């Protein structure tokens, strides 16, 4: 039976570190940390994420600035807001919640965010920095996954790491982070042949494909570390990951649950990036 990795506990530890450092910055340097969160339209899932980000800001002692814009906001209006936030000294980090309504070009918006305030690490400059290992911000979900793997005491060096999913937000940067920790990395996706065989070779398996219960126990090597990035809503309203937990748990040495695994880590790492941004902008780091 695999040991369950408690994402809530690990994320609480990260947030506690951030809160402690934030309080110290305020006391010793009079510095406040601020995050601006922009949401356009009424996507209910986005609304939940944005509320959780706001709550996390309060919990770690950040100022949060929320901009809830109407569904019909034009691209120009959104770009104008981003430019205002780029110049606002109270705002150390800017997060524009995705997806945006269809009439807005997401790339144009991401490219408009100052790379120094891009706490999602989505801007091409920050993506490029990850490739060469010279980053200040790591994308929140892959960074959270690394922290969860670390919490198991697993040394990634020389391990066979398989990432299922090749998104810009998770799969691709995840592969780079595992590579930087000296893993031997394979990226799989919907067109991969012999997926089961590839997965069976994985010492560390990170699944971010967005399909409910896609990876089953028979695809998992005995003793593997299994990290499930998926968050799917079933017809019965229940949340489930990309990994079929019951069968996978029997094979894995460590496994993340859904919910309560990777999810809480994403916000914790966002808080960490915002603190890093504030320190850099103040010339402290």
Q: Does 98 bind ligand GUN (CB under 6 A)?
A: yes
Q: Which of 97, 174, 274, 276 binds ligand GUN (CB under 6 A)?
A: 97
Give 205-256 as a DSSP string.
Answer: EEE-S--TT-B-GGGS-TT-EEEE---EE-TTS-EE-SB-HHHHHTT-SEE-
Q: 39 forms bridges with which residues in the sheet? A: 68
Total binding residues toward ligand GUN, as defined by CB under 6 A? 7
Give 3-15 as a DSSP string.
Answer: EEP-HHHHHHHHH
Q: For residues 164 and 207, is the Cβ–Cβ distance under 8 A?
A: yes
Which string of x and - marks every residue 108-137 that binds ligand GUN (by CB under 6 A)? ------------x-----------------
**242 has catalytic annotation:** no
Q: For residues 136 and 277, what is the distance between their CA atoms, to the nearest angstrom?
A: 8
Least distance from ligand GUN to the Cβ atom of residue 24, Å: 27
Q: Does 96 bind ligand GUN (CB under 6 A)?
A: yes
Q: Which of 238, 247, 250, 176 is nearest to 206 (CA)?
A: 176
Q: Which of 94, 140, 209, 268 binds ligand GUN (CB under 6 A)?
A: 140
Q: Does 208 bind ligand GUN (CB under 6 A)?
A: no
Q: Which of residues 36-65 bind ligand GUN (CB under 6 A)?
A: none
| Residue 270: Cβ within 10 Å count | 28
Tell me which stretch binds ligand GUN (CB under 6 A): 15-23, 91-99, 188-196, 224-232.
91-99
Which residue numbers belong to the known binding site for NADP(+)? 165-167
Provide the annotated active-site residues. Answer: 53, 97, 120
């Amino acid at each position: 039976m695999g040991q369950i990795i408690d994402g809530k506990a690990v994320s609480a530890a990260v947030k506690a570190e951030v809160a402690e450092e934030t309080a110290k910055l305020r006391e010793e340097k009079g510095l406040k940390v601020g995050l601006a969160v922009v949401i356009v339209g009424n996507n209910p899932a986005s609304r939940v994420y944005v509320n959780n980000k706001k709550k996390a800001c309060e919990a770690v002692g950040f100022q949060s600035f929320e901009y809830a814009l109407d569904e019909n906001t034009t691209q120009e209006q959104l770009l104008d807001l981003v430019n205002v936030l780029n110049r606002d000294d109270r705002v150390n980090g800017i997060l524009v919640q995705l997806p945006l309504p269809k009439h807005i070009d997401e790339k144009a918006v991401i490219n408009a965010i100052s790379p120094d305030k891009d706490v999602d690490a989505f801007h091409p400059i920050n993506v490029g920095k990850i490739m060469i290992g010279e980053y200040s911000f790591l994308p929140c979900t892959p960074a959270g996954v690394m922290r969860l793997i670390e919490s198991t005491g697993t040394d990634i060096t020389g391990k066979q790491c398989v990432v299922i999913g090749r998104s810009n937000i998770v799969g691709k940067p995840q592969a780079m982070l595992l590579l930087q920790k000296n893993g031997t990395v394979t990226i799989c996706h919907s067109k991969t042949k012999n997926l089961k065989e590839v997965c069976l070779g994985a010492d560390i398996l990170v699944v971010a494909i967005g399909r409910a219960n896609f990876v089953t126990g028979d695809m998992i090597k005995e003793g593997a570390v299994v990290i499930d990035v998926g968050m799917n809503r079933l017809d019965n309203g229940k949340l489930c990951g990309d990994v079929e937990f019951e069968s996978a748990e029997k094979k894995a040495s460590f496994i993340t649950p859904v919910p309560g695994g990777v999810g809480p880590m994403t916000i914790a790492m966002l808080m960490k990036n915002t603190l890093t941004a504030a320190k850099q902008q103040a010339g402290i780091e």
